[in-house]
Chains A and B, each alone.
Chain A
């Protein structure tokens, strides 16, 4: 009876998911479209998400991350931990074991020497490797034997899973890239465009900024995968046309980054050819408050530096009132639809790392007005704008040129005007705003405005490096050529001390507790950062494509080997 039940169960499973048992290459072609075309297939020479996602179909790391943010072995046999002895007790080294019998798509064997080479490639001083932070703190990478890789850090490392983890730090083939190290890296066009990998697909054709053609990798480690014989990624156009090609005309199976207005989302979903999927990572659209005086009357070199505190934003009551006046759910409704959620946190996820801070979610215009009164800002001349000591409450609010951000600016301006704040809006070309040119007055680092709005995120589920942005020493100044990530020039010794503590804490529960405390210090306790919307990445896939599991912590295409054609 037991056997019979088991057999019946097995038959039922097979009947339910026939494609899961499909043979390699039996499902024809899978077609993807990206609104930004792929420029290069080597993630170490590009920081662009489009290039990293595309290359993740070909190149693989030792371990990747699941949609839940947990580690999953890719080339590694298992995840090294303290318990299984893979991570040394003093947290200064981690030893990875490769799966047995791994082959590159050209048929040669994958060895530990390839990993050692990858580390050398990305840390070469002249290479300009864009993923260098992944190998930060790595003192050496050794090949203990052909299948064992030992990564030694220059001190105890609380999070040893950075090098060779996620689509940002895959292993490249030594034989192919040996001549491409250092200054020669960009000149190896063929290797950069058609890297040999271990992933389910291999590149068969590449046209720069247009199309990547791929075929299944005959040496892929799972003999039953991938289900698709070929794959192609067509780039270009915009989010709207990509979404349309999947949701309305059905020309493509998958479209990455289809962030379109909520009403268009609904109209396209109604066509019934596909569905939108959304993954929430840590991307938060926020307003950052300037704690220094950006006034143009100050001499260059002193303007927007810690030498001159902001005339009114240094008062926490004013900052709190500005946050209270905002209705975040309206912002989500107008700008993002299913692709966003209101939030009060800089670290909105994953579970365990996020603070339970929800106080900002209800708009309170009256409370905001009262708070401004309390801070001494009253409308003494009756022109609708509050003033104090003869100075008007006037805010310069800047962001990048982007239709959603301009909608946000208009809405927030209305609310702030209602509580008696005069708002001047400014929008800057994103190339300039994020360009970091020390000679331009309009970069987000220089912050020659009172408040500014943009989005930022933590690359890893563990937010240590992300939170360390708000340390005193990371403030952009004229001396640092206006480079630095602490753009608010926030400075709290208690915050810096906690960051140091986080760097030496290895217990996960304790780390999460500290991260939540740090999150609260910059948000609800100080209102230096005013989070608005927790943004997801919105992608679309057709109903004929199965197996899609969107992922915010790794490449969205992390499980492309499991995708199949729904028949």
Chain B
């Protein structure tokens, strides 16, 4: 198992390098200019000077190598300097966003907590709703509960978040006036009152995303349970006289969870990736909102860095899912 993990990690290095180059070229070749949001009243010669000050007029390969150096040397060492008070890369250019001129990693650092709290909670809530629905729907296949569960899943699948989110806003904020529509990122949780505020402002985005997450996971759970319900070992367990509760929750559920856990693990990078539409809709300043804002402003350093971090996370969680699979299912061996 260890050699397998090491081999996969080593293989990941060239993969990620190729990915980084492809992302860089894609982002760079995409049409658009970092100055497209600047008013037309700014004349062409001033625009040219602004482009030069950004370094956007340098050749592509030069900028790629510079980015690689900044990403793999300057930024980690900058973190190291910050922790241990050393001065290894002091004065070196960090990766700066073109739009805000702030270091990209400070922006990401500012935004990761929001994304993890809101999107992470939504994922967790989604799983907690999905598993019971999936289990019971499979156990009572074609029952009324199963039909309702299926309807719920289909709605979650097919209604886009920009629609369900807006609908929730109109119902809960405009009509009922219970919940805020804009997420206040400056809110600090210091006492029960502010904690309650935090919960209140999280309800709408978590509900919107949780519905979508729960829909897909509950379907996986249901079908995996159905696969197992008809197996011989289930009949054996029943024949032994085990209670239904033990048969379903101990024997069937454990075996059915194997593929579901993999699906859940593979979905984790998407938590870090944020949720572009939901974050924008509710003003959660997470990673997804940062990405779409950077794309609209052709902020290449920001888009490039975020896209690459997503690539790293996806490669990493694929590996974790594989390893986890080996742990959960003793039949699978990688050596």
Is A442 in the interface zone, CB < 8 Å from B? Answer: yes
Residues of A within 8 A of B (CB): 33, 37, 39-40, 45, 47-49, 125-130, 132-133, 183, 185-187, 189, 192-193, 205, 207-211, 213, 232, 234-238, 241, 244-245, 248-249, 251-252, 429-437, 440, 442, 456-459, 466, 483-485
Binary contact readout B273-303 vs A (1 if CB under 8 angstroms, 0 otherwise): 0000000111101000110010010100000
- 10 tightest A-B CB contacts, nearest first: A128-B53, A435-B33, A431-B32, A47-B38, A210-B285, A39-B100, A483-B44, A186-B101, A432-B31, A459-B41
A40-B31 contact in complex given A48-B37, A251-B180, C-beta closer than 8 Å: no
Report the Cα distance A127→B54, complex, angstroms: 9
Partner of A186, one of B42, B53, B180, B283: B53
Question: What residues of chain B lie closer than 8 Å to A126, measured between beta carbons?
Answer: 52-53
Does the CB pair B296–A436 fall under 8 Å?
no
CB neighbors of A among B209-263 (8 A): none
Report the Cα distance A48→B99, complex, angstroms: 10
Report the Cα distance A251→B49, complex, angstroms: 41
Write the nearest CB–CB distance from B320 to chain A, whole angstroms. 31
Looking at the complex, which of B10-18, B79-87, B103-111, B304-312 is the stretch in contact with chain A? B103-111
Is B198 in the interface zone, CB < 8 Å from A? Answer: no
Does the CB pair B293–A241 fall under 8 Å?
no
Does the CB pair A207–B185 fall under 8 Å?
yes
Does the CB pair B101–A236 fall under 8 Å?
no
Residue of B nearest to A428 (CB): B31
Write the nearest CB–CB distance from A190 to chain B, whole angstroms. 10
Write the nearest CB–CB distance from A477 to chain B, whole angstroms. 12
A208-B180 contact in complex given A37-B293, A431-B36, A483-B48, C-beta closer than 8 Å: no
* Of listed B40, B106, B280, B290, residue having the most chain A CB within 10 A: B40
Residues of B within 8 A of A (CB): 31-33, 35-44, 46-54, 93, 96-97, 99-103, 106-107, 110, 169, 173-174, 177, 180-182, 184-186, 280-283, 285, 289-290, 293, 296, 298
Question: What residues of chain A lie closer than 8 Å to B285, measured between beta carbons?
Answer: 37, 207, 209-211, 236
A47-B39 contact in complex given A37-B293, A234-B184, A485-B44, C-beta closer than 8 Å: yes
Main secondary structure of the interface of A (DSSP, over half): loop
A128-B44 contact in complex given A232-B186, A234-B283, C-beta closer than 8 Å: no
Write the nearest CB–CB distance from A203 to chain B, whole angstroms. 12
Question: What residues of chain B lie closer than 8 Å to A238, measured between beta carbons?
Answer: 280
Partner of A249, one of B35, B38, B51, B177: B177
Report the Cα distance A126→B50, complex, angstroms: 9
Does the CB pair A192–B293 fall under 8 Å?
no
A249-B101 contact in complex given A189-B106, A236-B280, A236-B289, C-beta closer than 8 Å: no
Question: What residues of chain A lie closer than 8 Å to B44, measured between beta carbons?
Answer: 436, 483-485
Question: What residues of chain A lie closer than 8 Å to B169, measured between beta carbons?
Answer: 241, 244
Does the CB pair A466–B41 fall under 8 Å?
yes
Write the nearest CB–CB distance from B198 to chain A, whole angstroms. 15
Write the nearest CB–CB distance from A177 to chain B, whole angstroms. 13
Question: What residues of chain B lie closer than 8 Å to A432, measured between beta carbons?
Answer: 31-32, 36
Does the CB pair B96–A241 fall under 8 Å?
no
Question: What residues of chain A lie closer than 8 Å to B298, measured between beta carbons?
Answer: 431, 435
Partner of B35, one of A37, A183, A436, A440: A436
